[in-house]
Amino acid sequence: MKFNEIRAFIPCKDYEQSVSFYRALGFRGEPAGEDMMMFERDGCTFFLQKNFYDEAFSKNQMFQLIVSDINETYAVVSQINDSDARHSAIKQEHWGQVIYLWGPSGELWHVTELNS
């Protein structure tokens, strides 16, 4: 048995706001039916759900996005102009560096550059 990919389904409180947020991160989105959009960048994909939002679920949803350059990523993240999104400074951990990035619906991204 061979696994090819895992794709998450991310709920959102405000669909257009979330679409804008993920596009600002550099993801490209294409409709995947009437009630969701599939986002992709560099082979990483996920679905954004249009008609589903549960606050408790969204605020407990976490993802890890591994990047090759945390400083370049921080420059992009710092330019996102969304009142419901926020991010931490770059934090050094024993395994690498991380930016904690909360999306507009409360989802938490661990944006990580692993040690070589």
Q: Could you tell me the residue ranges of all domains in the chain?
A: 8-114
pLDDT in tens, the chain (116 residues): 999 999 999 999 999 999 999 999 999 999 999 999 999 999 999 999 999 999 999 999 999 999 999 999 999 999 999 999 999 999 999 999 999 999 999 999 999 999 98
Distance CA 98, CA 68 (A): 12
Among 65, 66, 73, 115, CA closest to 95:
115
Q: Tell me what pLDDT residue 116 has.
A: 85
Give yes or no for a contact between 58 and 17, defined as CB atoms under 8 angstroms apart: no
Q: Say whether domain 8-114 belongs to CATH 3.10.20.600.
A: no
Q: What is the pTM of this model?
A: 0.93
